[in-house]
Amino acid sequence: MPRTEEQLNKIRKDRKQKIKDTALEVFAAHGYESASISMIAKKAGVSKGLMYNYFESKEDLLGTIMMEGIDEMLPLIDPDNDGVLTKEEFVFLIDESFRIMKEKINYYRLYFSLMMQPSVMNLFADKLNEVAAPYIKIFVDYFEKKGSKKPMLEAIMVGALLDGIGFNYAFNPDTYPLDDVVELVKEKLV
């Protein structure tokens, strides 16, 4: 009995996901350039040729992974946020951010490893801004409410702090005292 259309779709979907997951792993571990399609195909248990059935090119594979990674981070920002963040919400936002980071450490490694290459990052600039902008806005609002004189600058600084912690953690996830640092950050900021 031939497979139904539905079954085929599920197979396709699962396999595509498997390829993306594997590619992310390999990209994160070796860097985008050093990772080869062969390596990914073998690790994902599919043929090289099949990769091109699902993705137009290595660059497309990278693009899809990065775009989806960004998309997954978007809902993190409170959609009901009315611009007036309470302390509790602020703390929650930070906690969530680092929870996601731990969970999606490979995404972060990939982003960090590519951010210095304008030729690559330009492709994702707009999308990344979609994630960063609301963050900045929330931080600005928060510091404004707290009566800060330079809320934008404070927001930028906090952004840098969170990036820095993420970078250090991504560089050395095994020994970095992420949770303790995050606690300290919250203490300082609220």
Sorted by sequence, the CB contacts under 8 Å of residue 149 that are 6+ apart come out as none
Looking at 45-53, 74-82, 113-121, 158-166, which segment touches DNA (CB under 7 A)?
A: 45-53
43 binds, among a second copy, DNA, none (CB under 5 to 8 A by kind): none
User: Letter for the amino acid at 33?
Assistant: E
Is there binding between residue 71 and DNA (CB under 7 A)? no
Query: What residues from 147 to 176 belong to the interface with a second copy (CB under 8 A)?
Result: 150, 153-154, 156-157, 159-165, 167-168, 170-171
d(CA 95, CA 78): 13
Q: How far is CA 114 from CA 13, 110, 178, in A?
A: 27, 6, 23
> Does 17 sit near DNA (CB under 7 A)?
no
Q: Is 20 among the residues that bind DNA (CB under 7 A)?
A: no
Q: How far apart are CA 93 and CA 46, in angstroms?
A: 39
Tell whether residue 134 is a contact of a second copy (CB under 8 A).
no
Nearer to a second copy, 92 or 171 (CB): 171
Structure tokens at 34: 């050093």
**Nearest distance in Å: CB 104, DNA:** 23
Q: Which residue reads 């990278």 in tokens?
A: 62
Q: Are 140 and 151 in contact (CB under 8 A)?
A: yes
Q: Does residue 49 touch DNA according to CB under 7 A?
A: yes
C-alpha to C-alpha distance for 75 and 6, rounded to whole angstroms: 28
Q: In Å, how far are 79, 102, 146 from 86, measured between CA atoms?
A: 15, 25, 10
CB of 116 to DNA, least distance (A): 17
Residue 141 interacts with, from DNA, a second copy, none (CB under 5-8 Å by kind): none
Is the CB of residue 154 less than 8 Å from the CB of residue 89?
Answer: no
Q: Which residues bind DNA (CB under 7 A)?
A: 1-3, 7-8, 11-12, 15, 34-39, 46-53, 56-59
| Interacting residue ranges for a second copy, rule: CB under 8 A | 2, 28-34, 47, 109-110, 112-119, 121, 150, 153-154, 156-157, 159-165, 167-168, 170-171, 177, 180-181, 184-185, 188
